Amino acid sequence: MTIPAPAVIDALRAALDDRAVLIGDDAAGFLIDGRNLPTADDAVVVRPADVEGVAAVVAICAEHDVAIVPQGGNTGLSHGTESPTDRPSIVLTTARLNTIESIDPDRWTITAQAGVSIEAVQEAARSVNRVFAPDWGARGTATVGGAIATDAGGINVLRYGNMRENVMGIQAVLADGSIWDGRRALVKDSSGYDLKQLFIGAEGTLGVVTSAVLKLRPATPHESTMLAAITGLDALAPLLELAHTHAPGSVTAFELLPQVAIDRVVSITDAVRPLDAGTEYSVLVKLASSAPVDDQVADFLAAGAAAGFVVDAVVAGTPDQTENLWSLRDHAPPTFCYLEHQHLGLKLDTAVPVDRIETFIRSVLDAAAEIAPMALAYAFGHVGDGNLHMMILPTTDEDVPPWMEVRQAMSDEVDRLVFGLEGTLSAEHGVGLLLRDRVGPQKSDLEWELMRSVKRALDPDDRFNPGKMIPGT
């Protein structure tokens, strides 16, 4: 039984405005994640319009022992927004906390409510000649609160870091319904524990983030995106080194794109094939600076070709061409490419130390060829910071039964490889339920117990997102 008792629903209705409590068909749209998978069969969805409303909801849930599943744009895809099946719960969506509260170019900050989309923050930053750096394919749907809760990053992490490096302060509602306002805009603050960092990456297990002070960066009016077809995976590390050497301070994105994904995206979207070099892999590189980068682009590509790593390259010359190149990257995930079978596959959002990227990709591809020859395996993503997406999935109906027979063996082998290379199973999207029972060996028992202690201290009744993220909860 997961729907709270009628008395709870009545209390929520009495405390909030009449648009705030959704049940049945009205709630259904909030119970499907970004992969079209249900997050609950049925649930009460509550959408307060302000932080006081969130506090009232939490207080009512505390009084009636109802669990709370915070929800943003539902793009996390790690089953982090699934409702528990063993106790009454509500879904608390930040959909109406969608105001940019202030833009402060002189402080280099934006303060935004948790439900504001990443794209809206980026646009607001641009309007004052600043940059909000975190950026990824789900920018239009992913929210500030969800990005904080999963410590999201994206294509610019290489230069600007994850959300951890882009959040200066947060406001959150705590387990007893109190509002903690830690929205400071201090670049330096040595006055004790940095409590906001506990909430970043906590996946909604410690409280509801309601607003945040986000860091802005100088505008980079001179930007250039290029796609370079490369000789192979062994070219990745030396090419990144060459990019840093020939464009110091300008390397903003360095993404791996396999030809198999480019071919697929071109065949199912309007994207145009930019190169036909016949190589298995390309890198998508963005240089950005306050000064022109044309010479840096030319020097980098010439050095890459002279070293024998770059076979051919195209540099976007117009905004449309730039968009076309990024469209290839944005649509490379199987959620676009292989929608029909993607939920059956293994989707890795892993990271390994940057010097082990090549070893990791080769090891996983070799293991897939041996264990799961019927599956398509490919790697793409943020190689510049060690964060790699790999997909191993069936692409036809006939491949599904044999794949399901070896899926577990392949999953076990991936875990062995990730842990052996001192990597992480979750470098983005969070742990949720998807990885909770796999991440254990990644950290010591002591480290997990420390996390449980933090959880007990801030959420003694296990009110927030119970059962998520921490093994054994």
Q: Which stretches of the chain bind ligand FAD, using CB under 6 A? A: 34, 69-77, 80-81, 94, 114, 136-138, 142-143, 145-147, 149-150, 152-154, 203-204, 208-209, 333, 335, 428-430, 432, 465, 468
- Min dist CB 255 to ligand FAD, Å, is 9
- Min dist CB 382 to ligand FAD, Å, is 7
> Which one, 30 or 300, has the nearer CB to ligand FAD?
30
> Which one, 73 or 169, has the nearer CB to ligand FAD?
73
- By beta carbon distance, the residue nearest ligand FAD is 146
- Min dist CB 464 to ligand FAD, Å, is 8
> Which one, 217 or 222, has the nearer CB to ligand FAD?
217
- Min dist CB 106 to ligand FAD, Å, is 27
> Which one, 277 or 458, has the nearer CB to ligand FAD?
458
- Min dist CB 20 to ligand FAD, Å, is 16
- Min dist CB 260 to ligand FAD, Å, is 18
- Min dist CB 130 to ligand FAD, Å, is 21
> Which one, 335 or 442, has the nearer CB to ligand FAD?
335
> Which one, 94 or 250, has the nearer CB to ligand FAD?
94
- Min dist CB 221 to ligand FAD, Å, is 24
> Which one, 21 or 209, has the nearer CB to ligand FAD?
209
Q: What is the 3-state secondary structure (H, E, C) of the chain?
A: CCCCCHHHHHHHHHHCCCCCEECCHHHHCCCECCCCCECCCCCEEECCCCHHHHHHHHHHHHHHCCEEEEECCCCCCCCCCCCCCCCCEEEEECCCCCCEEEEECCCCEEEEECCCEHHHHHHHHHHCCEECCCECCCCCCCEHHHHHHCCCCECCHHHHCCHHHCEEEEEEECCCCCEEEECCCCCCCCCCCCCHHHHCCCCCCCCEEEEEEEECEECCCEEEEEEEEECCHHHHHHHHHHHHHHCCCCEEEEEEEEHHHHHHHHHHCCCCCCCCCCCCEEEEEEEEECCCCHHHHHHHHHHHHHCCCEEEEEECCCHHHHHHHHHHHHCCCHHHHCCCCHHHCEEEEEECCHHHHHHHHHHHHHHHHHHCCCCEEEEEEEHHHCEEEEEEECCCHHHHHHHHHHHHHHHHHHHHHHHHCCCECECCCCCCCCCCCCCHHHCCHHHHHHHHHHHHHHCCCCCECCCCCCCCC
> Which one, 172 or 229, has the nearer CB to ligand FAD?
172
